[in-house]
Amino acid sequence: MIRMLVTVLYGIGYLICSLPELSRVKKLDPRLSVEKRDEAAHTLPKNWAASLIRSSGSKVTLEGEHNMPDGPVLIVSNHQSNFDIPVLMSSLKKPAGFLSKTEVKKLPLLPKWMEVMNCIFVDRKNKRQALLSLKEGSEKLKEGHSLIIFPEGTRSKGDDLAEFKTGALRMAAGAGVPIVPVAIDGTYDIMEKQGGWRFKPSQVKVIVCKPVQAEEYTGRDLKTTAEELRQTIAKTLRNPS
């Protein structure tokens, strides 16, 4: 419980102290390349995410980084825990925004950073609004930004993967960018496995799998692509080597 309180309070304090940097990032020269603007916008959030992982006592190892293509990509990951987001933010070198439920907008400070990180807020209760959000995500990819999605839609809380939904994959199809499956293992052990909000230091592994190039899935049934991505991640979790 003490470790949890320290982590939460530290995270909140970090965000409060980040306000001057947030103001600076919002004023970045629009003539800068997408890569340079994304790198600048994601530097502090990456450090914040890494500090949350450290304060939980956990360690993250990254494998397969060489599989990550240059340029914009749609990163598809399994979803074990609330810690998946800071784990991916801090471990992946490529800056990427997230698809997030719109309820997150009610939190203080965090949504402001998410906006400059090019995150997309989705109202899953409003189908029309959700479709507009996915269209926005496709435009972000076309502009050169990368995005991360959790196609299970909710946390699996372990190694058993739920069905991958196809909706968000349409963003990649619309933008013609590679899809990169990423397997996360061990985040469930940090918090959810303990019950409530108790934290336990854990060993977390992030494995970047081989990308699926646009020409490999364009014109195919997205349900088939979604299932193949799920199988790739499931196989990686069973046999990380």
pLDDT in tens, 34-50: 999 999 999 999 999 99
pLDDT, residue 105, reads: 87
Neighbours of 113 (CB within 10 A): 20
Average pLDDT over residues 95-112: 90
From 208, 106, 228, 61, select the one nearest 148 (Cα to Cα): 208
pLDDT band at 234 (very low <50, low <70, confident <90, very high): very high
Tokens of 220: 């195919």
Edge-to-edge strands, sheet with 74-77: 59-63, 203-208, 179-185, 74-77, 147-149, 97-101, 120-122
CA separation for the pair 37, 20 (Å, rounded): 17
Whether the per-residue pLDDT at 196 is higher than 90: the answer is: no
Give pLDDT tens digits for 151-178: 997 766 556 798 999 988 999 999 999 9
* Annotation: CATH topology of 2-238: Glycerol-3-phosphate (1)-acyltransferase (3.40.1130)
pLDDT, residue 157, reads: 58
pTM of the model: 0.91
pLDDT, residue 241, reads: 60
Whether the per-residue pLDDT at 85 is higher than 60: the answer is: yes
Whether the per-residue pLDDT at 10 is higher than 90: the answer is: no
For residues 239 and 218, the model is more confident at: 218
CA separation for the pair 72, 77 (Å, rounded): 16
Domain residues of the chain, as ranges? 2-238
pLDDT averaged over every residue in the chain: 90
Whether the per-residue pLDDT at 19 is higher than 90: the answer is: no
